[in-house]
Structure formats: C-alpha cells, structure tokens
Structure 1
Amino acid sequence: MIIDFKLKSTVRIILLFFFTVLNTEVDAHIKNEYSADIIIYGGTSAAVTAAVQSIRMGKSVILVSPDIHLGGLSSSGLGFTDTGDKTVIGGLARDFYHQIYLHYQSDSAWKWQKKEDYGNKGQGTSAIDGNERTMWIFEPHVAEEIFENFITNNNIKVYRDEWLDRENGVKLNNGKIISIRTLSGKVFHGSVFIDATYEGDLMAASGVSYHVGREGNDVYNEQWNGVQTGVFQHQHYFRTNIDPYKVPGDKSSGLLAGISPYPSGRKGEGDNRLQAYCFRMCLSNNPDNRVPFPKPAGYDPNQYELLIRVFQSGWNELFNKFDPIPNRKTDTNNHGPFSTDYIGMNYEYPESSYEKRKEIIKQHEVYQKGLMYFMANDSRVPVDLQRQLNEWGLAKDEFIDNGNWPYQLYIREARRMVSDYVMTEHEVLSKREVPKPIGMGSYSLDSHNTQRYITPEGNVQNEGDIGVSAPKPYSISYDAIIPKKGEVKNLLVPVCLSSSHIAYGSVRMEPVFMILGQSAATAAAIAIDDAQDVQEINYQKLQQALLSQKQLLVLPE
C-alpha cells in the first residue's frame, strides 16, 4: 500500500507538471507570444540556411517569414545560378546544390525533356557536375521543394505571412532586441535575432545605421561606385543614337515612357538611385506546358514605344537571356537596352510602407507582363522575332497558385547596413586583406542600370550597368554582418550586410546569401553559449566551427 501511495503521488506530480507546461504553452499561444533562442526574420534562402544551422548548433529557432513560399529568388525564377567560382561555395549552400543534383538523377524529374537532351550549360560552369555531385541549374518548384525539405527534416517552426510592425514592433532594452511583433499581433522573443530579408526591415526598425543608393567614389576611394556615365557593359545600352521624344526632334511633344527628364549627374558622384528590379520569368516552349503571355489589366502599349525604335535600329538579340533550365524551360533575365528591367521605377521601394511596396511590385508586374504581351502581339515587332517569341509562354507547372508568375520581385539591392567595417570594391578586387572571414564570394562587380536619361547630344541612354571581374575569389568579413559597436548587440544581418553599392553587386548572389545565413546562425549560437554580444564573440571559435561545417573562408595557399 505504501508503494501504491508513492506511485500515485508520483503520477500526480507528473500529471500536474504536464498540465502546467501545457497550460503555459496554451496561454502563450492565446497571448500570441512565442519564444526561441534565435528568431530569424525573412523567407529568403539565407533565412532557411540560418534556421537549419541554428538547429544543428543545438538551438531552438523560429522562422518568421513575410513570405508564404520560402527560398526567395532561388525558388522564384533564378534557376540559372550566378555561381562565380563554384569551388568556394561550401556548407549548406553546397548541400542545397547537391540536393538539386540528387533530384535530377531520377528519371521522373525529366517530365518534359529527356535528360540527355538538356545539355549541360551553366553560368561559367557546367550545369551538372558529376564529380562533385552538384547541379547549379534548376526549376523553381524543385528549389522550393528542397527548401521545404530542409524545414521539415529539421522540425523548424515557421510562421508565414507574418509582417514586422516596422513602426512599433521592435522592443529594445539596453541595446538588445527583446522581441519583435508582427502586424497580426504575434510577439516573438529571442536571445539573438537575424534579419535575412532583402529589404533589411528588422535592421532598420532596430535603429541600425544603413544606406540606400550609390555612394560617391570619394566615400570609400572607389572607381566603380556612383554615377557611371560613359561606361557601357553587358550590351545593356543604346548602341545607336535614338531620339527620346514622342515626336522625333520635337521636345514639346514630351518624352517617351521610361526616360527621366533629370540630369544624369556627374560621373562618380553619389545619388539615391537603385539598380533596376525585374522578375526572373520561367518560360516554356513545350506546347503542353505553355501558357500564352497574358494581357495584364492596365496594359498600355505606349510604355514600349522606345522598344520599337530599338528594333528599328537593327537590334535583334531578344533571346540572348533565355537561359535554359531543365524540362524545356528558361530562367529569363533582362537583356539589351530595353528589356524586363523597369529602370528608374524602384527608388522609393526600400523605405516605402508595405502598401506602397505592393504598388511598386504590381507596377513592375504590369510592365513586364505588358512587355511580353506587346512583343508577342504588336504588329510593329519584327515578324521573325515575334514568331519565335510566340513559341514560348509562361511555364504552366510553375507558380501554379500565382497565375504562373514568380512570387518574388528581384530586389537586387535595397538598404545596406553601415557598420564599423564596410566591404568595398577593394576587397572584391583583392586589393585589401579581409579580417575575420566567414565565407567567400567570387562574382564580378555587377550592377544593372539605374537610370535612363537624355545625353547632352539629345539621345536616350542607360546608365549604371557595371561588370568588372573579380580576379579571384575573396573573403567576406564577419564584421560586415554585425552592427556597429554601440548599436544593436544581438542582431546579425547576412543579406543587407555592410557593403558599398558596387561591392554589393558582387556579394548579392544567392549562394553567398546561403553561406552568410549559415555563418550568421553559427555566430548567434556562440553568442548565446558565451553570453556575449555579437560584436564580442571569439572569432577563433567561430572560425573553427565554420571550418567544421565545410565552409570555405579563404583561398588555399
């Protein structure tokens, strides 16, 4: 009987404890309050790798995503990966491309095309690397599936369609973020926070220093920053003299759509302009998997008058950026002097309200859908080009819940943090040593056009497109993903990191974002374990952890 009494008492205690914990969790959910060691804000590829690495470091994590579909551009059309030198892509980023490889080893993955008919073209590399068991080119839905597998396999809590209250949603105490609140009223408490958005919204709302636009060359003693009139690269400029006015030669008739009436600015000076955004369309030329280019609401053929003049000038390179991905599809990017980039229409985006951003995104969608419809249907488009274009359409089996249109606008650049250390062209061009490396980049200094203006001679021209090769892969510093000392002590920023405009043109590649997301989560875990600010953690400890994760930090001697 004594034994039974003790057993019953033990059972009562266990049940009491269980119901106490359960009620506590229920109360917390009723109050819309949630807690984890690490809170990640964003739905990008960097956000996913950061979440996975948080779990691997033994930390609890919550991913708070404004996006419903995870993966950012990597799962929203950018399937023709900007690899640069793929040998310096390690860790979870390389594992992602290994998972892509495994997917396409299956015959069932090749629904619309035989594997042997695909070819093996990648950007500066083979699409499929059998020796390394990686694949760098892929369909959007495949990438999203792999990101979702990362989430599921690691039991990561994700709250989707949750938008940070940018006005009053960040609670700070003694220089540390205590919690963030979303517009739905949910509150997320954490020890360390990671801003993995393309816009840097959490960073900005926390009071961290940042910059929008191009710095003048004199700020960091650079050559390729600021206004770059007279620099013509990538064939994204007008090669012949083209009149900018509605009635050629008549200024009083007004400018054609898309041409700025303002001066370009002096070469090398800073401004608030941003490199252009676009959607990376996934097209198909398989009749059974092709949707004709739709005519968008608000379609205005006058938006494309300048394109007709480009065609009349002899330009015929329309299909040069229909980059092939598996199953007879493309990653279609901007190409030429007048294309999918909506030049000059994104300057307000980084600092705008969510409502205004939605308007800007919709304007880009209408412009780009209208462009494709215009080229496919307007009688003034050269017949041979139009005939070829109408062999293509939106891929029917991609973005099926969004009218086959990509989920994510390509935010090539928005806010950039300004920390005690700023990455510049000097680091990218290997003219300067990089302290505390946490990953590597290798892509060229790459910026799309920022404005379309009238030259002193009275012709239309584009400005801002830069492409300067990095001589070799370069390291990225830990100091570039942490705020200044004296600012926020428990925030890491792996996407909108501390970088000049032109250096960001190289850093801003999806594999690099994955690398930096993983490194940020590793640093966050060390900061928690050692009860230190992110600015004060032991770099040697971070370095050893990253090397054990097969991250590449420096070029081997």
Structure 2
Amino acid sequence: MKKVFVFFLLLAQASFAQQADVIIYGGTSAAITAAVQVKQMGKSVIVVSPDTHLGGLSAGGLGFTDTGDKSVIGGLAREFYHRVYMHYQQPGAWQWQKQTEYGNKGQGTPAMDGSERTMWIFEPHVAEKVFEDFVKEHNITVLRNEWLNRDNGVVKKNGAVVSITTLSGKTFTGKMFIDATYEGDLMAAAGVKYHVGREANSVYNETFNGIQTGVFHHGHHFAMKISPYKVPGDPKSGLLPKISNQPPGVKGEGDKRIQAYCFRMCLSNHPDNRIPFPKPAGYDPAQYELLLRVFDSGWRETFSKYDPIPNRKTDTNNHGPFSTDNIGMNYDYPEASYARRKEIIAEHERYQKGLLYFMSNDPRMPADVQQKMRQWGLPKDEFKDNGGWPHQLYIREARRMIGQAVMTEHETLSKKPVLQPVGMGSYTLDAHHAQRYVTPEGFVQNEGDIGVHAEEPYKIEYGAIIPKKEDCSNLLVPVCVSSSHIAYGSIRMEPVFMILGQSAATAAVQAIDSRKAVQDIDYEKLKAQLLKDKQRLSKPI
C-alpha cells in the first residue's frame, strides 16, 4: 500500500513539471518586467512567485516613488509609470478627492508629468493592477504561492541550473533562470557567492561603507540627549526595549548588520475610507517608552513622512529617531528559514501596528500629536484581503551577489567608469539605521543612516547582474545585484529593479539564441537591443 501511495505521489509531482525558455523566480516588479520582455522577444516564460500579490514594494505601499533623476528611467519601467498616469486621467480614479485637490508633490520630480505622460506617485492597488495587466496582455504564466525548495530544489549540471522545484513538488525546467526576489534565495541555492551585511571600507577602498558611528544624516538620529535606561540615568535598572546592549563597533569596520526594515504604510484620513488603527495581538506599550522620551524632548516631526498619494492617502515611511523602522530586528532574515522569516515579518507587523495604536490611544502621548494621529487610519480600499495592511515587508537589503563585477560607491558616485551598462541609477546612496546602542556618555543613539548625494546619474554594469561563470552560467540576478552595502543603498530603488529586470531578460534571450553562457554574450548586441527597447544607458542630452 505504501509503495502504491509513493508511486501516485511521484506521478502527481511529475504531472506538475513545466518547461519554458526562461524561468523567473519571484513576484517583484523586476520579475514582471523581465517576464514581459521575454515574451516580447518571442520566448516562453514562467513566473514562479512565492508571493500571491505581484509587484513587490511597488504594489505594496511604496507609492511615493524614489525616482532620483527620472530622465534615466526608460523601457518597461517608464511604461509602468505611463500606465499609472493614464489611470489617473480617468475621472473615476478620483473617488476620495478631486484631482485638483491632490496637488503635484513628488520625490525629486512632480507627481504628474503631463509633458512626459508619466505619473510617479500612486495608490498600491493601481500599481498592482498595472502589473496584472502586463501579465494578462502578454499571456504570462504565473504560479503564485510557490516557494523554492532551498535545501535540494535546485538541480545543476555542468555549472548551469537545469531545474528548480518548489515545496509543493512542482518542477520547472528552463534554459535560463532569473532570480528576481528581494532575498536572493535561488541565487544562494544555486551556489552563487554572496555577501550579507556591511563590508569594511577597506574591502573596496570606500568611505561610506561599514559601521558609521558619529555620522548623522536625515535627522533620524537622536539629536537630543535621552537616557536609554528604564530608570533614567540608572544603568542598573536595565535598558529600554529596542536598544542593543552590545557596543556599536569601530567606524569603517564591517559587520553582519543590515539596514532596518519596515512596512511602507498606506494611510487614509477620509472618514468614509478609514479603519481605526487596530490593537495588535501581543501589544505591549512598554515597547514605545523611548518614543515618549523623544516627544518629551520637544520633537514634533511625526507627520513629516506622511507623503501624499492620490485620494487622501499616504505612503508613510520611517522618520525621526524612533519610528516605523524596527531597528536591529532583522539581522537573521536574509538567510533564515521560511518559518523564521514569517516570525520576523510578524514581529515587524506587531511592532508597527502597536506603534500606531500607541500613538493614537496611549494617554501619555502629547495631546497635540494624538489628536492629529486619530485623524488617520488604514484604508478600506487597499490590501482588502489583509485588513488594510501591506502584504509586503520592505526588505531594503538582504543577500547581495558577488558577481562578475561589483558596483561600489566609486561607480555610483561616477568616480570609476562603467563600460558595459545595462541601466542607470541616480538616487542618493541611502542606507537606513542598522543598530540602536548606548553611547560612552550613557545616552541612546542610532547608527547606520547614510545619505550621500550622487551628483549625476550613474551606469550599472552588466557584470553586476550576473554571477561569476564558475558559479553559474545561466542565471541572472536583477534585484540582489552584485554591489557593496553602500552602493546598494542607491541601486535598491523600485524603478531600477524594473530596469534591470528588463535588461536581465534581454540578456537571457540573447544567451539562448547564441547558445552561450550569460557571461559570454556579445555586449554590443545586448546594448543595441536595450536601446531599441528604449532603455536608457546614458543621460539624455
């Protein structure tokens, strides 16, 4: 009887075996632009997505786009923002406010650019619909809620991936593979070298990598002297929550810490579209004692990053010394098991929901802040299957490949040339805090926040999205790109991921056509196709 069961189990699994020219693992914005490009170039593609909702952060609350210099955003990425623009030209798109009431505030660019017919600021459900439309229009096969078997689900032969298998037993065979996840799980399971954490400045002769004690950018540090102890000034009383008891380390040295995660929340202040902030299970007001001390110091920048998106909603991001970033609680996430990652995500959700509930309801909160806070809530018409809460945690940084080329601050600050560009970036080299510690003077402080302005847009090297040939010859990695920690602080923006997804797909198709490894394709042919498809490899004159 047991043998018969095993036989039918194997038969069932075999029936799920699927094949395509290109297999894409991930459901991010990069995954979808890559899939569209493969289809437009006449090849077959399957998207194997661990996510149910497509689009990653672009559809998960990050609607106030980190554009940088929009002139270097081309190809399918620009098509995405054009489709957003077209949506908001329809009167029916403005349900909760008039278009004339919205204004036109964007990040580095107006929200709506009529001359370019692009819109850079949007609601989450609008972005998700654009990605779903891409899938439907190109008849792209997408399998959702399919998680890579990271233990033995990747089969390689002669240095190339042959197939991947998910935890449900489905097997996908392809000629080329693209890892478009924020975590780099396929890349790691395929044996490609990678790095987690901050490199020492000495590794790539950088200035802004590694531990950054004493460096204060953005106003996200403690400008005021606040005691970290339960009883102010008394170390014997113990530390308040969310403060490390470890020394921060030596400036410029490397460590395994990574920049903090948070949910990019979409909030609403329309009375008919607002859900009061819920009290999360496991709520503990003691977690926010440090926030009260920040307010007691006179700090009042609570609403400075409630950035407006259409229909009286926000993309609310971290701001200030104690905010939505759950500092220090994500160090093991990049390489953690799926079960452990779920615990980390749940802890971030509990912390952030608790923060909102605390600010709205705790009687110790300043009355002026609490009164304004109570005007906000979760939106009824976003993330409907999740109570108005985003379905994607902001994985600002996880694994980073060590590929054929490594992007560093030298390339992103245009101090070293990039000879084989496949896209461009322009955003500030932006890393959030990685730790909260006690200073030698006995006060609380944050560390890791860096904001270094890139004077001009920079090129991204083809070698940064492919592994070294000895690691794997048919894999491309447009999200966990080969870069140093600080360079990734700029590259990690959603428009760039879309750009690199399209370019990775183009290279994959050309590798198939030429029967070559991704490391051996003709770059001039790749460049010609990218330019034909309106990618921007240099700043327009």
Give your verdict on TM over 0.5.
yes
Structure 2: runs of 5+ lacking an equivalent: 1-10
Partner of 2:415: 431
Partner of 1:527: 511
Whether 1:235 aligns to 2:224 is: no
Cα offset, 1:250, TM superposition:
1.4
Partner of 1:63: 47
Aligned partners of 1:29 and 1:376: how far apart in 2?
51
Partner of 1:286: 270
Deviates more, 1:419-428 or 1:291-300: 419-428
Structure 1 segments of 4+ aligned residues over 4 angstroms from their partners = 27-30
SS at match of 2:384: coil
Work out which of the residue numbers 326, 345, 355 in structure 1 matches 2:329: 345
Partner of 1:249: 233
Work out which of the residue numbers 197, 206, 209 in structure 1 matches 2:190: 206
Asked if the contact 2:434/2:449 (under 8 Å) is kept, the reply is: yes
Aligned partners of 2:435 and 2:300: how far apart in 1?
23
Partner of 2:360: 376
Aligned residues: 531
Cα offset, 1:380, TM superposition:
1.0
Q: What is the correspondence of 1:2-81 to structure 2 with a 5 Å cutoff? A: 31-81=15-65
CA deviation map 1:4-52 (0-9, x unaligned) = xxxxxxxxxxxxxxxxxxxxxxx89862100000000000000000000
Partner of 1:405: 389
Partner of 1:24: none
Partner of 1:538: 522
Q: What is the correspondence of 1:62-211 to structure 2 with a 5 Å cutoff? A: 62-211=46-195
C-alpha change, 1:181 and 1:247, in structure 2 (3 Å) is same
CA deviation map 1:274-316 (0-9, x unaligned) = 0000000000000000000000000000000000000001101
Partner of 1:8: none
Aligned partners of 1:313 and 1:117: how far apart in 2?
35
Q: Tell me the amino acid that sits aligned with residue 93 of structure 1.
A: A
Aligned partners of 1:515 and 1:522: how far apart in 2?
11
Cα offset, 1:337, TM superposition:
0.2
Work out which of the residue numbers 188, 213, 216 in structure 1 matches 2:200: 216
CA deviation map 1:221-258 (0-9, x unaligned) = 00000000111111101011100000112111110000
Aligned partners of 2:14 and 2:460: how far apart in 1?
43
Aligned partners of 1:435 and 1:349: how far apart in 2?
34
Aligned partners of 1:331 and 1:248: how far apart in 2?
35
Q: Tell me the amino acid that sits aligned with residue 421 of structure 2.
A: P
Partner of 2:428: 444
Aligned partners of 1:208 and 1:540: how far apart in 2?
26
SS at match of 1:324: strand
CA deviation map 1:181-221 (0-9, x unaligned) = 00000000000000000000000000000000000000000
Aligned partners of 1:516 and 1:420: how far apart in 2?
16
Aligned partners of 1:419 and 1:395: how far apart in 2?
42
Structure 1: runs of 5+ lacking an equivalent: 1-26
CA deviation map 1:131-153 (0-9, x unaligned) = 00000000000000000000000
Whether 1:478 aligns to 2:462 is: yes
Partner of 2:344: 360
Asked if the contact 1:447/1:505 (under 8 Å) is kept, the reply is: yes
Asked if the contact 1:46/1:516 (under 8 Å) is kept, the reply is: yes
Whether 1:549 aligns to 2:523 is: no
Cα offset, 1:420, TM superposition:
2.9
Cα offset, 1:487, TM superposition:
1.2
Asked if the contact 1:28/1:34 (under 8 Å) is kept, the reply is: no
Task: Give percent identity, aligned residues only.
Answer: 70
Aligned partners of 2:358 and 2:414: how far apart in 1?
45
Aligned partners of 1:285 and 1:269: how far apart in 2?
44
Asked if the contact 2:401/2:482 (under 8 Å) is kept, the reply is: yes
Q: Tell me the amino acid that sits aligned with residue 186 of structure 1.
A: K
Partner of 1:414: 398
Aligned partners of 2:404 and 2:232: how far apart in 1?
51
Q: Tell me the amino acid that sits aligned with residue 465 of structure 2.
A: I
SS at match of 1:180: strand
Aligned partners of 1:103 and 1:96: how far apart in 2?
11
SS at match of 2:385: coil
Asked if the contact 1:89/1:551 (under 8 Å) is kept, the reply is: yes
SS at match of 1:284: coil
Cα offset, 1:555, TM superposition:
2.5
Work out which of the residue numbers 373, 387, 412 in structure 2 matches 1:389: 373
* Larger of the two Rg values belongs to structure: 1
Q: For the aligned residues, what is the CA RMSD?
A: 0.9
Q: Tell me the amino acid that sits aligned with residue 97 of structure 1.
A: Y
Asked if the contact 2:176/2:474 (under 8 Å) is kept, the reply is: yes
Aligned partners of 2:483 and 2:14: how far apart in 1?
41
CA deviation map 1:371-415 (0-9, x unaligned) = 000000011111011000100000110000011100000000000
Aligned partners of 1:522 and 1:49: how far apart in 2?
11
SS at match of 2:328: coil
SS at match of 1:155: coil
Asked if the contact 2:13/2:169 (under 8 Å) is kept, the reply is: no
Aligned partners of 1:60 and 1:284: how far apart in 2?
41
Partner of 1:505: 489
Deviates more, 1:122-131 or 1:29-38: 29-38
Asked if the contact 1:439/1:552 (under 8 Å) is kept, the reply is: yes
Partner of 2:252: 268
Asked if the contact 1:417/1:496 (under 8 Å) is kept, the reply is: yes
Whether 1:516 aligns to 2:494 is: no
Q: Tell me the amino acid that sits aligned with residue 177 of structure 1.
A: V
Partner of 2:295: 311
Partner of 2:448: 464
SS at match of 1:283: coil
Asked if the contact 2:72/2:424 (under 8 Å) is kept, the reply is: yes
SS at match of 2:519: coil
Aligned partners of 2:86 and 2:404: how far apart in 1?
42
Aligned partners of 2:413 and 2:375: how far apart in 1?
42
Partner of 1:14: none
